[in-house]
Structure 1
Amino acid sequence: MKGELQHIGRHAVTVLAGQLAVMAFGTTDTIVAGRYSDDAVAALSVGSAIFVSVYASLMGIFQALLPLWAEQRGAGQPLAIGRSLRQSMYLCLLACMLGMAVLLMPDALLRWTDVPEALQHEVKRYLAVLAWGLPPALLFRIYSALNQALGHPKLVTWLQLCSLLIKVPLSIWLTFGGLGLSPMGAAGCALATLVVNYTVFGVALWLVRSQDLYAPLALWDRLEAPDWKLLGHFCRLGVPAGLAILVEVTSFTLMALYVSRQGSLASASHQIAANLAAIGYMVPLSLAIATSARVSYWRGAGDEARAQALIRRCFRLALLVGFAVSAVFFLARRPIADIYTDSPSVLPLASWLLICVAAYHLADAVQTYCIFVLRCYRVTVAPLILYCVLLWGGGLGLGYWLAYAWQAPPAWRGWQATPMPFWVCSAAALFVTAAAFSGILFRAIRSPQQ
């Protein structure tokens, strides 16, 4: 078991390095836009909230295929992996069409969430650029899930780390202008991401074509006609998982749209808190990915006892790591906020929000681990229902009521006019979610089903 934990640990650290590089995209954009203007970072906050909601929910469909491919690897079926990956291209095409439509036509969503008119033009410019970066982003996510299932995440991590070397200078240049280029503001950050997405996917495509690692999968065999039975299986596994991620992400990102009503100060401070929460999320996410890949491998190999032992050990590890990251956010909240902004009005509010982020992360660590491992047991519908009730209702809904509908006493009105109601309610809802998911997980492993 010690060797298994070391294997998962190496896998998780490798995935974490790559995920942090990707998260550094958002951190870079937040810092660059924050130095450009408060309006730019406010537009970035709203625009990135919409893009992440679309991308993450579609990405979840393909990330949910990781356990399937890991099981096929454990069962010694490399050709089945190649065939199912080719079939996933049909789903990817449909996902790209749906996602680009939302990003290129966001007017109804912006009106529904009452995003201020002054921000809408810049937000639409930002999304129009990112829409064309969605296809390579989703295709690279499929490549990433494949490598994780095969137990070889290093290629993905190296690509993600190298892409950061392109992203940082490009964002600065396109946002602030220079060398004959006019400043583009938040849209410059989006254009930098677009360039990086196509570059990284192009290199990944070359690797799939040239590396011996992928040869046993016969990925370049002729694309078969749609296998509706297999695609239906993908949908039963991936669509609830994608919708669950949509609910999870929108319960988080819709805060940015609702907070934007409070003005640029609230949006800027919320963006800092949201970015830190997203960075923290990468730690349990990496552990969850590594654990789910290994658990599915052993389930495919027919060793349920080893899979269950790994789940219990890694659950305790996820809880311990969650405590550690939360403590860092709480104790170092002021220095961390100071990295993001030099605005004397944004800094104090952002520091207070990081207290909520610390609590939010602890619950997030547990529920993230649980939902990924539950996919190894094909449990996807129950988490979706719980997310809808708890995160949309208890978190986002109650937060909205406290911020905009509650007739607060005079002493509470200053607190009410900040992003705090949303963060407090979301953290509380996530704690209930984590407890419920933990119960479902340990019940599932007591009576595993294929």
Structure 2
Amino acid sequence: MSPGLARRIPQKTGYAPLLKLAGPVVLSRLGIMAMGLVDTIVVGRYSSTELGYHALGWAPTAVVLTTSIGLLSGVQVLTSQAIGDNRAADTGAILRRGCIYAFWIGIAAAVLLAGLGGPLMHNIGLNQSLADGATPVLQIFALSLLPILVADTGIFWLEAHGRAIPGTIAMWSANIVNLVLNLWLVPGNSGLPVHGAVASGWATFASRIALLIFVWILIARWPAAKALGAFTKAPRNPVATTEMRRIGYGASASYFTETLAFAAMSIFAGWIGAVAVASWAIVLNVAALIFMIPLGLATATGVMVGRAHGARDPHGVREAAKRGFIAAVAITLLICAIVGFGNTMIAAAYTRDPAVQAMTAAALLLSCLFFVADGLQVVGAQALRAQSDIWVPTMTHFTSYLIVMMPLGWLFAIQMGHGVNGIIWAIIIASLLSAGLLWGRFLWLTQPAR
């Protein structure tokens, strides 16, 4: 191993290291959502009905996918901590264990979703035609879980090493594949027996296979990867394996809680009607796209906090988290201004249906009230997990999104008749609660000793 790999990586101060890592991470996360954005726009402009199928098929898929990704979060946390603790040579073994773990998680997740997704669609009170249309879309999405999980493991590992640009290149290359296939397949003129939401599902599957190939080509082309042990069988280490899974369990439970709550909002919109479910699909896609920016900041903040924690530097932990907090506030406020003034144009870009456009524009304007809080809560959660504080973020999300948001969403949207705007008010309240609890925990945990 080269001397450079064995040397402790110093923690630089200021915003430059955070933003240098956060920039490509944000672009990578935006690349994840760009796939969904392309799917939603292409399918939405083809047919509002097909957009509803796509949204409903994606709702349970998102729960399974994000829960599975949470199980893999230990790869990034442990890699960051190892680098901070002068153990970079251990990180190749972390990657190898993570990939094996991702493979089996992907198999189990695909079988679970493909087997239970159809009956779920037909037993949650949806209109029969909506359930019938969403089921095949969901089953195709299930096939794409394995490649995206193994690919993400490689991306997380590269990001922990400060090499976010290769992951970004891979992600946007896969987006090109997705765009080309959507434009070819969705209109139904390809000569293949697919169109609409089902065709878009197949485009997603192919693009995720491409992503997996791109990520591993880029890892193989990094000279240090071999020296770090990325291509050497990982030694048996039950303690390290258990710790990786322990971190993943907490993050996974947290992700499951949050995505389940948002999936429930999609079901509530489905109960309201076809216009509401199409409008909510657009709002959710825009909000998820925006969320990738603070999520990228959260990833970079977590890497910085994890390195400081691994180096046993409590002052560095506090400073890294503070910079993440301030950057998240500044960026999400800018986003609020852009969405607030451009809500009508954004709605028109997604759909030609006047009723869906009007409902969506109003909902996007109201959504500006939760963007800042949503950004702060994800940065706060990642700052805690980077210190191996696993279960408090999970309980916070459970409280905020399941105990508070889901009942309020049903009350405001269904019982009180506020529709999609009622769903958004529930999200506003839950996000404010989550952000307050998480940052309160961080301040309590990192207060200087007296």
Q: TM-score, normalised by structure 1?
A: 0.92
CA distance in 1, matches of 2:104, 2:190: 40
* Aligned pairs (5 A) from 1:229-378: 229-378=239-388
C-alpha deviation, 1:91, in angstroms: 2.5
**For structure 2, which runs of at least 5 residues remain unmatched after alignment?**
1-10
Distance in 1, matches of 2:260 and 2:161, equals 31
Name the CA distance, whole Å, in 2 between partners of 1:386 and 1:21.
Answer: 28
1:268–1:165 distance in 2 versus 1, CA, 3 Å: same
1:358 Cα deviation from its structure 2 partner: 0.9
Aligned to 1:29: 39
- Structure 2 equivalent of residue 205 of structure 1: 216
Deviating more after overlay: 174-183 vs 254-263: 174-183
Match of 2:425 in 1: 424
The answer to whether the 8 Å contact 1:319/1:362 transfers is yes
For 1:436-447, what aligned pairs fall within 5 Å after superposition? 436-446=437-447
Given the superposition, is the C-alpha separation of residues 216 and 76 from structure 1 closer, same or farther in structure 2, using an over 3 Å criterion? farther
Please say if residues 115 and 258 of structure 1, whose CA atoms lie closer than 8 Å, have aligned partners that are also in contact. no
CA deviation string 1:383-427 (max 9, x = no partner): 2112122211211122113333x3x4xxxx4x3xx2222211121
The alpha-carbon deviation at position 447 of structure 1 amounts to 6.2
The structure-2 alpha-carbon separation of the partners of 1:296 and 1:313, relative to structure 1 and needing over 3 Å to count, comes to same
1:170 counterpart residue number: 181
Q: Which moved more, 1:154-163 or 1:86-95?
A: 86-95
Query: How far apart, in 2, do the equivalents of 1:113 and 1:136 lie?
Result: 29
What is the root-mean-square deviation of aligned Cα atoms in Å?
1.9
Is the contact made by 2:121 and 2:134 (CA closer than 8 Å) also made in structure 1? no
Conserved? CA contact 1:65–1:234, under 8 Å = yes
Aligned pair in 2 of structure 1 residues 216, 77: CA closer, same or farther (>3 Å)?
Answer: farther
For 2:186, what is the secondary structure of its paired residue? helix
Decide whether the 8 Å contact of 1:394 with 1:426 is kept in 2: no
Q: 1:7 aligns with which of 17, 22, 36?
A: 17
1:213 shift after superposition: 2.8
Q: 1:166 to 1:352 in 2, by over 3 A?
A: same
* Residue in structure 1 matched with residue 68 of structure 2 by the alignment: 58
Q: Deviations over 1:33-81 (max 9, x none)?
A: 1111111000111111111111111101212431210111122223321
1:129 aligned residue: 140
Write the deviation string for residues 269-302 of structure 1: whole angstroms up to 9, x where unpaired.
Answer: 0011001100110111111111111221232233
Counterpart of 1:320 in structure 2: which amino acid? Answer: A
* Alignment partner, residue 193 of structure 1: 204
C-alpha separation between the residues in 1 aligned to 2:189 and 2:123? 37
* Contact 2:268-2:413 within 8 A present in 1 as well: no
- Equivalent-residue separation in structure 2 for 1:64 and 1:111 (angstroms): 36
Q: Do the aligned partners of 1:322 and 1:366 also contact (CA within 8 Å) in 2?
A: no
Give, in whole Å, the separation in 1 of the partners of 2:421 and 2:38: 24
Letter in 2 for 1:123: A
Partner of 1:215: 226
Q: CA deviation at 1:242?
A: 0.8
**Which deviates further from its counterpart, 425-434 or 84-93?**
84-93
Residue 98 (structure 1) aligned with residue 108 (structure 2): yes
CA distance in 2: counterparts of 1:112 and 1:217, whole angstroms: 50
Displacement of 1:240 in angstroms is 1.1
Checking the alignment, whether the CA contact within 8 Å between 1:241 and 1:384 is kept in structure 2 is yes
Q: Contact 1:113 / 1:258 at 8 angstroms: preserved in 2?
A: no
Contact 1:391 1:429 in 2 (8 A): yes
Task: Kindly provide the CA deviation profile for residues 359-398 of structure 1, in whole angstroms up to 9, marking residues without a partner as x.
Answer: 1211101101100111112122122112122211211122
- Structure-1 separation of matches of 2:215 and 2:328: 30
| 8 A contact 2:103–2:150 mirrored in 1 | no
CA distance in 1, matches of 2:404, 2:275: 26
- Residue number in structure 1 paired with 2:8: none
Looking at structure 2, the residues matched to 63 and 42 of structure 1 have their Cα atoms a distance apart, in angstroms, of: 31
Do the aligned partners of 1:377 and 1:444 also contact (CA within 8 Å) in 2?
no
Confirm or deny: 8 A CA contact 2:78 2:94 kept in the other structure. no
- Give the match's secondary structure for 1:446: coil
Distance 1:356 1:125 in 2: 33
Partners in 2 of 1:94 and 1:169 — Cα distance? 30
Deviation at residue 7 of structure 1 after TM alignment: 1.5
One-letter amino acid matched to 2:262: F
1:191 match: secondary structure: helix
Q: Does 1:138 align with 2:138?
A: no
Change (3 A) 1:179 1:249: closer
Contact 1:285 1:368 in 2 (8 A): yes
With 263-272 and 200-209 compared, the bigger mean Cα shift is at 200-209
Indicate conservation of the 8 Å contact 2:78/2:244, yes or no.
no
Partner Cα distance (1:31, 1:224) in 2: 47
Alignment CA distance shift 1:140-1:4 (3 Å): farther
